[in-house]
Copies of this chain bind each other. A is one copy, B any other.
Amino acid sequence: MSGLNDVLDKLSERSKASLSELIEFASIPSVSAQPDHKPDMERAAQWLSTRLKRAGLKTVELWPTAGHAAVYAEYLEAGEDAPTLLVYGHYDVQPPDPLEKWHTPPFTPTVKDERLYGRGVSDDKGPLLLTVQVVDAYLSTLGKLPLNLKFLFEGEEEVGSAHLNELVAQNAERLRADFVLSADGGMWSADIPSLTVSARGLAALELTVRGPTKDLHSGRHGGSVHNPLHALATLIAGLHDESGHVTVSGFYDGIAELTPQQREGIRQLPFTDEDYLTQTGAPAVYGESGYSTLERQWHRPTLEVNGMWGGYTGEGSKTVLPSEAHAKITCRLVPGQEPGRIAELLKQHLEAKLPPGVTLNIHPSEHGARAYRLPDAHPGGALAREVLAELYGKPPLDVGMGGSIPVLETFQSVLGLDTVFFSFSVGDEDIHAPNEFFRIPRLSEGQQAWAQLWWKLGHQEKR
């Protein structure tokens, strides 16, 4: 283990530099959803390529797509007998809105109380960057890595990884590996080590309700034509019943009920609704009746409106009866639900429930993903549990993930690979919200863990 210790010492020695690099990386506003950030996306991909090369990787490539490019790099010098890992992460970030709620500028990463605040620091630039820093430490101390590595860092995760399927299929041969180790995903809690073994899938659509062809004066016309805002509210309100069940016919078809074992496992987790409400600030938990909070988050499908708008939303008042009203909807899926079918069922439901006096336009999103579950006996999962247990002094919990990583589906269906989540972000770090942060000590912890996992994987008994 003397070789590994040298690597770990090097990482300790470089801890300040590691943080500075993350600050630099997270200063680039690589917002994949907004076309005016296209140059920033290119800048971020370039920055990452340069960093991979500086780490000592000889093969670093930009893989263009119809959207944003992916960054690919490889180290194959461990030889054919050594295991090969595919490391996944993403360099794009969520839009920073609402800007006025940030305490520090989202793209001026700011250190405060052992945390780094900024958009993307936790999701996923911190967890991604530390894997590159571990490569650098290995190559600059030992001159080699104990296993083969392939890095695939995409630029479209926050917009549904629309082109990744195609890209992975085109490069299936080059991406061959034993399994995927994902730098994206996040741990469940800051205090308790955990391994995420499942993720929900995703189906999304946007709808527009139209009434009059132009905005009308609500005094003159109010009460004589249908107001698209009223019609939209009726449609949205009708998507759930009073027990929190989704009313879309067929939505729950093909879903397995939770097993007594699953329910018991969740019951034993150190989780209380009180703590959860303290963490989120919500006045009460709320959801589908018959399920606990974690059961709802990990094992039940949901339908959420992510945005809804129409009419006058500025200061003061404007007595308008608007021409249009809009909503963005995403569903989180569990095993048994097909994203395309769910979007279609939702479309049919909305069309059938449309009130009179308005028309409806539905734009299904390319944003879709099946739910995922890591097999219980997966060897990568076992190794990850071992590393975490050593690092934190207690065995990690198996947890689910309410969110989605569409790429899991891609790796499984196109490459036949399972994915082990090994991210060092934490679920409470306000990702997708104002004041996203990353716990600075996690940068070192993550580096150590990745260094150890690679060492173990490269030095285990030959399979």
Q: List residues of A whose CB falls within 8 A of some B CB.
A: 32-35, 94-95, 97-98, 101, 159-160, 200, 202, 204, 206, 210-227, 229-230, 232-240, 244, 276, 280-288, 293-294, 296-297, 300-302, 304-323, 325-328, 330, 332, 356-359, 365, 367, 401-404, 427, 430-435
Known: A98-B215, A202-B219, A307-B310. A330 touches B325 (CB 8 A): no
Return chain B residues, CB-CB under 8 Å to A430.
214
Known: A219-B403, A225-B280. A317 touches B236 (CB 8 A): no
Cross-chain contact A212 with B281 (CB below 8 angstroms)? yes
A-B CB contact pairs (8 Å), 29 listed: A94-B318, A200-B219, A218-B330, A222-B297, A222-B332, A224-B285, A225-B285, A225-B287, A226-B284, A226-B287, A227-B304, A229-B306, A230-B237, A233-B235, A233-B236, A237-B237, A282-B357, A283-B357, A284-B356, A306-B312, A306-B320, A307-B310, A307-B318, A308-B308, A308-B311, A308-B313, A312-B328, A317-B330, A319-B403
Return chain B residues, CB-CB under 8 Å to A240.
230
- Cα(A112)–Cα(B42), bound, Å: 45
Return chain B residues, CB-CB under 8 Å to A305.
227, 229-230, 233, 311
- Cα(A238)–Cα(B215), bound, Å: 23
The 4 closest A-B CB pairs, nearest first, are A213-B281, A219-B403, A33-B316, A286-B357
Cross-chain contact B297 with A221 (CB below 8 angstroms)? yes
Q: Which of B206, B220, B283 contacts A358 (CB 8 A)?
A: B283
Return chain B residues, CB-CB under 8 Å to A285.
224-225, 357
Return chain B residues, CB-CB under 8 Å to A34.
314-316
Cross-chain contact B236 with A229 (CB below 8 angstroms)? yes
Max chain B Cβ within 10 angstroms of own Cβ: one of A35, A98, A216: A216
Cross-chain contact B306 with A309 (CB below 8 angstroms)? no
Cross-chain contact A302 with B223 (CB below 8 angstroms)? yes
Cross-chain contact A307 with B320 (CB below 8 angstroms)? yes
In the complex, which residue of chain B has the Cβ closest to the Cβ of A405? B219
Return chain B residues, CB-CB under 8 Å to A244.
223
- Cα(A285)–Cα(B311), bound, Å: 19
Cross-chain contact A217 with B283 (CB below 8 angstroms)? no
